[in-house]
Amino acid sequence: MEGKLISIPFLFTLFTLSISVSSVSLQYQTLTLRSLPEPQSLSWATQDSYDFQPLNSQNTLAVQLHHVDLITPYTSLFNTTPHALFKLRLQRDAVRAELLSKLAEAAANANATVKDFSSSVISGLAQGSGEYFTRIGIGTPPKYAYLVLDTGSDVVWIQCLPCRQCYNQSDPVFDPSKSSSFTGLSCDSPLCRRLDSPGCNNKNKCLYQVSYGDGSFTVGEFSTETLTFRKTRVSDIAFGCGHDNEGLFIGAAGLLGLGKGKLSFPGQAGSRFGNKFSYCLVDRTGSPKPSYLIFGESAVTRNTIFTPLLTNQKLNTFYYVELTGISVGGTRVPLITSELFKLGANGDGGVIVDSGTSVTRLTRPAYVALRDAFSLGTKNLKRAPNYSLFDTCYDLSGKTEVKVPTLVLHFKDADVALPASNYLIPVSSEGRFCFGFAGTASRLSIIGNIQQQGFRVVFDLAGSRLGFAPRGCD
């Protein structure tokens, strides 16, 4: 994003029960209206066999990303109407956001002797809200499977034979006995000791167990294995080989943890690709055309603008950034200050960027101020009843496009102007659209993947910064 944003004077007076506006000149942009998409079958453009090459620090890895709703076993489990899928997505999303908030609060209240949290307990897949997935080869020879992309988790894991209890997935369950590169870890190995709650069987093999807030869990052998990303093999990656996996795990074979922790894929292999990766999340209301998850120097594009990454000593997995304000219609909303998003010294509050949460959650005072400012600029649009967690909705039936106020997220050193489709979203096939943000009672705010759509989000861990590049899926 080049150039500076120009602020236009926005004068208004706040009263206890009403808001009046005078001498307002708002900036608008056009939203082309599209209904919720019909469920579509997955079309994977690449084959499961490639010419292999070793990975070194100069290599670039690139794999496709698709939306989780395209996995056939996932969509067949539920009523696959557009409305039913969207409603289910919001239900999944609410569970994940609540657990992330509780996790942050628990870490902030813990005493200093408690270990830093490992995000193995907050998988987006476990909550059913791991929204995007990729296809990766596991083992030697590689067996390809869908893994959910999750920047809020560290541990990489998949379902494995023998299955004491396995959920339905679209590919055959991985058989470690048929992989020449599979190696179980011993109980006294350094990788085993990094687990929050490591176990040990009678053969001195390391066991992992991850339990989730909704009762879901995965249990199995903690091991190392080779992962294949298109033409590139990455060896000796520690991962969970799950033999008992129960709960809300559906469709995908497991999870690719991309968090900041030491057991995540970047944490283990980052030095091999310059500690840089990026993704671009395609619009879920568009075509099933994929985008790409890229590791290496090519992950950074020329038009990327960066904001520094913050460190939360209590939660070393999350990607914290500094949000200083939000503009609506070209003017900063006065009541949305940087203090509302401040990361406390004890680890509470702050703002994280998360691929597994759909709807951006803002701490309640910030959300109310944003919602009210947006509502002032959309007085000409017909209002509709609230929908699920959305309290600002519109009846746009019969229209093909509308004008809506511009919206800019102001991060430290980076102003990110959102496309209209990233904040006024369809919730039905009958023309109801809602403002795509929500409030939370928690002090933790979460930038979700609806607002990230269309941007290439760059994680430059070497430079301790996070970037946004508009039109990054091209």
| Cα dihedral value 312, 218, 241, 47, nearest 10 | -90
- Who's near 128: CB < 8 A, 6+ residues apart? 88, 91, 92, 95, 248, 250
Q: Which two tokens stand for residue 401?
A: 């496009």
Helix (H) or strand (E) holding 97: helix 82-109
Q: Which two tokens stand for residue 294?
A: 């890229």
Q: Which residues have a catalytic role annotated?
A: 150, 354
Longest dimension (CA), the chain: 76
414-418 and 331-332: which strand pairing? Answer: unpaired
Gap between the Cα atoms of 131 and 281, Å rounded? 10
Gap between the Cα atoms of 180 and 226, Å rounded? 9
Q: In whole angstroms, how far apart are CA 326 and each of 10, 147, 331, 337, 424?
A: 14, 34, 8, 8, 16
Gap between the Cα atoms of 363 and 349, Å rounded? 9
